[in-house]
Structure 1
Amino acid sequence: MNDVVRTNTLFSIIWSILSKWSSKLIGMVSTIVLARLLTPADFGIIAMATIVVALLESMTQAGLNLYILRYKEHDERVFNTAWTVGIIQAFCVAIPLLIAAPWIADFYAQPVLTEVIYCLALVRIIQGLNNFGVFIAQKQMNFKVDFVLTLYTRLIYLASTIFFAWYLQSFWALVFGQLISSVAGCLISYWVHPYRPKLSLYNWRDLLKYSKSTVPLSIGRYINNQADVAVVGRVASAEFLGLYHIAVNLAGLFTKELLMPVIRGLIPNLSVLRESANFKAILLTTFAAAVYVFLPVGVGLSLVAPEFVAVLLGDKWLSVTPMLAWFSLYAMIGGMMMFFSEQFLVMMERESLSNGLMWFRNLVLLSTIAITLIYFDVKDLPQALFWSVLAVLPVILISISRALELSLFKILHSWWPALLSAALMALSIYYFPALSWPLFIMLILKVVCGALVYALSLILLYIVRGRPTDSLEGAVFDKIPGAGMLRKSQP
C-alpha cells in the first residue's frame, strides 16, 4: 500500500510540475517577447484592471478545489454543486465589474479601463463554465489532464497575444489574448475529461460552511499579493506601475511559483501521508526542500538582475533592475512562508491559524507600505517590503512548529547547509570577474558558476557531515541511479 501511495504521489508531483512549469515557461517567453513589443504603460493599464478583478475574486473565493480534495467520497452530486457554485462565483465577480467599470476608470484617471474591464468580466464568466472534471482528476491524482489543459491554453494565449501585440502595438493584445485563451480553455476542459456537469445545489450548506473559512484566507492572500501594486497604481504613473508589475511577476515566477506544482502534487496525498508513522519526518524534509530550492533561485536572480533585464527585456526596461533585485529576495522569503503556512495548514484542518498568520503578515505589510510612502519614496518600496517580510519569518516558523508539533531547532538545523551553500554561491557571483564579453554570455556564465558552486557546496557539506541518511541530500541520492558513492555505506 505504501509503495502504491509513493508511486501515485511521485507521478502526481511530476505531472503537476510539468503543468505548472510549462505554463510559467510559456508565460516567461510571452513576457519577454511582449516587453519588446509593448511599453511599460501598456502593462500598467492591464495591471490596474487586474487589481480590481483579483479583489473581487478574493471576496468570492469558495476554495472549491480544496473542498473537493478534502471530500473523501466520489459523489457526482457534490461535483455538480461545486461546478454550479463556480458559475455563481463567476457572475458575482463579473456583475460588479460591469457596474463599477466607469468608476474604476475615473479612480485611476484612465478612461480606457472601462472597456478593458468589460472584456475581463466576460473572461471571468467563460472561465466559470470550465469543466470541473479537471479538479476531479486532481482528486484522483491524475495531473496529466491538468497538464494537457494548461499547455494548450497557454500556447493559444502566447500565439494570440504575440500576434495582436505585433499587429496592434497596444495593450489590447493582452486583453484579446485572455479572451481567446479563455474560450479555448473552456472547450479543451470538456475535451480532456469525460465528466459532464449539471446544475445542482446538493449539500450547498456544507460547501458554504467550508467557504466561510477560506474566504478570509483568500482576501488576506489578495492583500498580501496585491496591496502594494494597488497603492502604486494610485500614487504613481501607468508607466511606473508597468515596471513595478513586471518586476513583481518575474520575481514571483522564479520563486513563489517555482514550488506551487510540488504543493499541488502533495496536497491530494496529505490525508494519506498524515496517517503514516514518519509524517513529521516527511514534513521536515518537505520544508527543507522548499528552502533548498528557494534560496539559490531568489539570491541568484537578485545578483544577476542587471544582466537578466538587459538581455531578456531590453534597454527600455533597465529601470526595472533594482526593483527586480529586491523583489527576488522578497518573493523568496514570501514563497517560503506561503509554502509553510497556507495550503498545508488548510489541508491539516488548521484554517483559523492559517487565516491568523495571513492577516498578521498583512498588518505588517500595510504598515510597511504606509511608512515607506510617508517618510520615503515609492521607489524604496521593494527594499522595505523585503526587510518587513524577513522580520515576519520567525513568527511564522514559531507558529508552524507549535501547530504541527515540530521541533523549531530541527526545522532550522535542516536548513543550515542550504544557507551556507547559498552564501558561497552569492560570493562567487558577486566577485565574478568583470569581463568585456557580451551580456548574454556573462549572464550564462554567472548562472552556471552560481549553480555549480551551490551544488558542489551541498555535496561537500553532506560528505563532511558524515552522509546522514535522514537528510534531504541522503533522500535525493538514494533515488539517483549511480549515486552509490555518495550514499552512506551500510554496515
Structure 2
Amino acid sequence: MIGMVSTIVLARLLTPADFGIIAMATIVVALLESMTQAGLNIYILRYKEHDERVFNAAWTVGIIQAFFVAIPLVIAAPWIAQFYSQPVLTEVIYCLALVRIIQGLNNFGVFVAQKQLNFKVDFVLTLWTRLIYLAATIGFAWYLQSFWALVFGQLVSAFAGCLLSYYLHPYRPKLTLYNWRDMLKYSKSTVPLSLGRYINNQADVAVVGRVASAEFLGLYHIAVNLAGLFTKELLMPVIRGLIPNLSVLRDTPNFKDVLITTFAAAVYVFLPVGVGLSLVAEDFVPVVLGEQWLAAIPMLAWFSLYAMVGGMLMFFSEQFLVMMEKEALSNGLMWLRNAILLSTIGITLVYYEPATLPKALFISVMLVLPIILVSISRALELSLVTLLLSWWPALIAVTVMALAIWQLPAFSLPHFALLLIKVAVGAGSYVACLILLYIIRGKPSHSLEGALLGKVMARFR
C-alpha cells in the first residue's frame, strides 16, 4: 500500500521520462545483482543448527556481494550512459552503487529472526524503511521536480534501513568466512536461478529501453510496477513468512495437504486481483496517475494478467523449490520460461509495435503454466488433479466477477465513481460466489474456505 501511494504521488509530480531514466539505471543494477546473488537467507533457513559462525559468514558474503555489484557499476557507468544516450545516467548509477553498498551492511539479525519465526523485526524494518522512502522521495520530488528525487529517496531509505536493522535486533555480526566452501557450493545452484529471474523480470524492460524513447519506457515501467504492486509485491512478504514455516513443517505427515491448501490460497488471491485490475484499468489510470499517463491503460490491462500468472509461477517454482532442496528443477523451469519469454519478445518486436508486448508476454506465460504445474506436481509427489480441483471455486467466482463488471450499464459518471462501483461489484460478486459454492459443496472442512472459517470462528470463542 505504501508503494502504491508512492507511485501515485510521484506519477503526478514527475513525468514518464523521469521514470524512464531511473528504469534504465535499474536494469543494469539488477543485472549485476542477479549475477552475484548467493541467496544465503534461504541457506540459513535450510541450515538445521543455530550457528552464529554461519550467520557471520553469510553477512560477510553479503558485503562482498555488494562490492561485486558496486565496483563494476562505477567502472561501467560512462559506457552505460553512452549506450542509452543519456549522459546523466553516469551520476545516477554512481548513487545507486552507493545504495547497494549500504544495503550490504544491513544487520543479518533480520534473517536470524526469520529463522526463529519472529517476523516482527522484518515487519517493523520494512514498514519504516518504506515510510522513510515515501516521505523522502515525495519531499525531493516536490522540491526538485526531477528524477533525482527517486535516487535521493533510495539513498535516504537505504541509510535509514541499515541503522534500523541494528537498532531492531541485538545480533552483531562479525567478519568471517567460516564454512565458505559449503556456501559457495550452494550459491552455484542459486546464482543461475537469480540470473534467470532477472531475465524473466527485466528482459522486456531492457529491450524497450533500447528501442523506444525514455517517455515510452516510463509509461511501460509504471504499468509493470503497478501490476506488480498488486501481485508480485504482495507475494514477497508472504513468501518471507511462508518459507521458514514450511521448512519446519516439511517433515510432518500432512505436509502435502498443507502445500495444496497453500497453493490454493495463492490462486484465490491472485485471480481476482489480477483480473480485477485488468477490468478497471481504464478508470484506474486516470484516477490514480492522472491524464498524462492515459497511454499506459492498455499496457496495465495486459500486465495485470501477466503479473497475476507470473506471480503464481514465482510462488510455485522458485524459492519454494529451493527450500525443498530442488534447485536443479527450479533452475530448469526458470530457464524454460526465459526461452519462451525471449522468443516472444523477439518475435513481437520484429513484427509488431513495442506497445503490443504486454499482450504477447501474457500469452507466453500462459503457454508455460501447464508445464510448470505438471513438473512441480511430479517433483513434490502431489496429485495434479487434486491440486487443480482445489482451484475450481476461485476460477468460477472470478468468471462471475468478470461477467458482473462487464454487464454494468454505461454510467455517465466521473472515473472515480466508476472505479468505486466496479471495485464494489467485482469484490462483492467474487466473495458472494465463493460463499455460495462453499455452501453448495456441503461446507467441506478440508477446503480453504473451511480452514479460513475455522480460524475466524476460533477468534470469537
Distance 2:141 2:188 in 1: 41
- What is the TM-score normalised by the length of structure 1? 0.92
Q: Give the match for residue 233 of structure 1.
A: 209
- What is the TM-score normalised by the length of structure 2? 0.98
Alpha-carbon offset, residue 68 of structure 1: 1.1
Contact 2:56-2:173 at 8 Å conserved across structures: yes
Secondary structure of the 2:457 match is coil
Alignment of 1:152 with 2:122, yes or no, is: no
The amino acid that maps onto 2:312 is M
Q: Give the match for residue 368 of structure 2.
A: 392
Alignment of 1:98 with 2:74, yes or no, is: yes
Distance 1:39 1:367 in 2: 31
Alignment of 1:368 with 2:340, yes or no, is: no
Distance 1:98 1:259 in 2: 32
Alpha-carbon offset, residue 257 of structure 1: 2.0
Alpha-carbon offset, residue 264 of structure 1: 1.4
Q: Give the match for residue 107 of structure 2.
A: 131
Matched length: 460
Distance 2:307 2:213 in 1: 24
Distance 1:313 1:271 in 2: 41
The amino acid that maps onto 1:168 is L
The amino acid that maps onto 2:269 is V
Higher alpha-carbon deviation: 432-441 or 157-166:
432-441
Distance 2:177 2:253 in 1: 39
Q: Give the match for residue 452 of structure 1.
A: 428
Distance 2:113 2:281 in 1: 39
Secondary structure of the 1:62 match is coil
Q: Give the match for residue 86 of structure 2.
A: 110
Alignment of 1:78 with 2:54, yes or no, is: yes
Contact 2:10-2:138 at 8 Å conserved across structures: yes
Q: Give the match for residue 288 of structure 2.
A: 312
After superposition, the Cα gap between the structure-2 partners of 1:208 and 1:483, relative to the gap in structure 1 and judged at 3 Å, is closer
Alignment of 1:341 with 2:317, yes or no, is: yes
In structure 2, which of residues 356, 359, 362 is the aligned counterpart of residue 383 of structure 1? 359
Q: After TM superposition, which residue ranges in structure 1, 4 or more long, deviate above 4 angstroms?
A: none
Alpha-carbon offset, residue 138 of structure 1: 0.7
The residue correspondences of 1:279-294 to structure 2 (distance < 5 A) are: 279-294=255-270
Distance 1:383 1:76 in 2: 48
Alpha-carbon offset, residue 76 of structure 1: 1.1
After superposition, the Cα gap between the structure-2 partners of 1:483 and 1:442, relative to the gap in structure 1 and judged at 3 Å, is farther
Distance 1:334 1:364 in 2: 13
Q: Give the match for residue 274 of structure 2.
A: 298
After superposition, what is the alpha-carbon deviation per residue over 1:266-310, rounded to whole angstroms, capped at 9, x for unaligned?
A: 111223211111111111111111111110000000000011101
Alignment of 1:267 with 2:243, yes or no, is: yes
Q: Give the match for residue 358 of structure 1.
A: 334
Alpha-carbon offset, residue 483 of structure 1: 11
Distance 1:418 1:30 in 2: 31
Q: Give the match for residue 321 of structure 1.
A: 297
Distance 1:381 1:338 in 2: 20
Alignment of 1:43 with 2:13, yes or no, is: no
Distance 2:458 2:314 in 1: 35
Q: Give the match for residue 477 of structure 1.
A: 453
Contact 1:56-1:93 at 8 Å conserved across structures: yes
Q: Give the match for residue 204 of structure 1.
A: 180
Contact 1:477-1:483 at 8 Å conserved across structures: no
Alpha-carbon offset, residue 262 of structure 1: 2.1
The amino acid that maps onto 2:339 is L
In structure 1, which of residues 428, 431, 434 is the aligned counterpart of residue 410 of structure 2? 434
In structure 2, which of residues 232, 236, 242 is the aligned counterpart of residue 256 of structure 1? 232
In structure 2, which of residues 368, 377, 384 is the aligned counterpart of residue 408 of structure 1? 384
Distance 1:272 1:101 in 2: 44
Gap regions ≥5 residues in structure 1:
1-24, 485-491
Alpha-carbon offset, residue 438 of structure 1: 2.2
After superposition, the Cα gap between the structure-2 partners of 1:428 and 1:54, relative to the gap in structure 1 and judged at 3 Å, is same
Alpha-carbon offset, residue 442 of structure 1: 1.3
The amino acid that maps onto 1:434 is A
After superposition, what is the alpha-carbon deviation per residue over 1:218-275, rounded to whole angstroms, capped at 9, x for unaligned?
A: 0000000000000000000000000000000100111122232222111112232111
Distance 2:426 2:152 in 1: 40
The alignment-based identity, stated in percent, is 79
The amino acid that maps onto 2:356 is D
Alpha-carbon offset, residue 482 of structure 1: 8.6
The amino acid that maps onto 2:364 is S
Distance 1:375 1:439 in 2: 35
Q: CA-atom RMSD, angstroms?
A: 1.1
